[in-house]
């Protein structure tokens, strides 16, 4: 199969829905072998089966990255079943609610958000990079972060996790660059699906606060993911966050005026 990522083996977390699922589709269509993983087994298996039926090489592995050994167990299974990973995309993140303010977030919710986003992201990136270096693979990694990494709001656990991911991405890019491994991030804007409930956040209000006057789609994030993971377009890009937000960050989108 030809394509921008032909010959690559990709691991994508948070792959059952939303942005993660769109990235799985995009990578598969570009010729990559994809291991899709998510805590939601029924949706993940159904999504992978649909791609397999269409002739793509996609397999699903259920994993709960909030568990203490979740990330270690996952990478061991992936390596045993699919071989070394050359592309790693970390899109997994627990759902968040607009009501998750500083006094509403309990310890369990806080820990799960950081465990999935940050701790699991570090473990998976570290173990993937060990195999990449050992096998001289010019690997690529991508973290799906958020505008909230730099713009605080009433989601302290989510904002803190994404800010941590952003710095982790930079540390990985600096450490792994000499081995030819590129590490970047995408900060999406308002993209319905997955962990983001656009209706609860105020769909019409958010659209009005976006320069393009509409919300984005998971497929639009996936298109940028392909561009950052394909050496044809981004061979000299590492350690950076690409914002894909329709211009929402140009406006007062966190607490916009009522008018």
Q: List phi, psi (to 5°) of 83.
A: 90, -175
Nearest to 120 by CA among 38, 239, 237, 40: 38
CA–CA dist 71, 189 (Å, integer) = 27
> From edge to edge, which strands make up the β-sheet containing 9-13?
58-62, 33-38, 9-13, 87-90, 140-144, 182-188, 241-244
With beta carbons less than 8 A apart as the criterion, state whether 139 and 128 touch: yes
158 catalytically annotated: yes
With beta carbons less than 8 A apart as the criterion, state whether 132 and 178 touch: no
CA–CA dist 183, 9 (Å, integer) = 16
CA–CA dist 31, 54 (Å, integer) = 13
From the candidates 158, 159, 164, 183, which is the catalytic residue? 158
Q: List phi, psi (to 5°) of 62.
A: -75, 135
Which of the residues are catalytic? 158
């Amino acid at each position: 199969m030809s394509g921008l990522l032909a010959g690559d083996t990709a691991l994508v977390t948070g792959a059952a829905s939303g942005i993660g699922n769109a990235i799985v589709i995009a990578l598969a269509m570009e010729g990559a072998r994809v291991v899709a993983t998510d805590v939601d087994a029924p949706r993940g298996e159904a999504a992978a089966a649909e791609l397999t039926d269409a002739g793509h090489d996609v397999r699903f592995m259920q994993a709960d990255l909030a568990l203490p050994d979740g990330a270690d167990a996952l990478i061991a299974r992936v390596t045993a079943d699919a071989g070394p990973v050359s592309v790693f995309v970390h899109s997994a993140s627990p759902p968040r609610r607009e009501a998750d303010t500083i006094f509403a977030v309990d310890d369990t919710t806080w820990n799960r958000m950081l465990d999935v986003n940050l701790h699991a992201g570090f473990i998976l990136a570290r173990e993937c990079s060990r195999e990449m270096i050992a096998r001289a693979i010019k690997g690529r990694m991508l973290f799906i972060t958020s505008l909230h990494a730099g713009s605080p709001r009433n989601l302290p656990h989510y904002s803190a996790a994404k800010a941590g991911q952003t710095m982790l991405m930079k540390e990985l890019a600096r450490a792994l660059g000499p081995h030819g491994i590129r590490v970047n991030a995408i900060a999406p804007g308002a993209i319905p699906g997955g962990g983001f409930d656009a209706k609860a956040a105020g769909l019409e209000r958010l659209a009005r606060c976006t320069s393009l006057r509409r919300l984005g789609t998971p497929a639009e994030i996936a298109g940028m993911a392909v561009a950052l993971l394909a050496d044809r377009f981004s061979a000299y890009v590492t350690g950076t966050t690409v914002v894909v937000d329709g211009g929402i960050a140009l406006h007062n989108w966190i607490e916009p005026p009522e008018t």
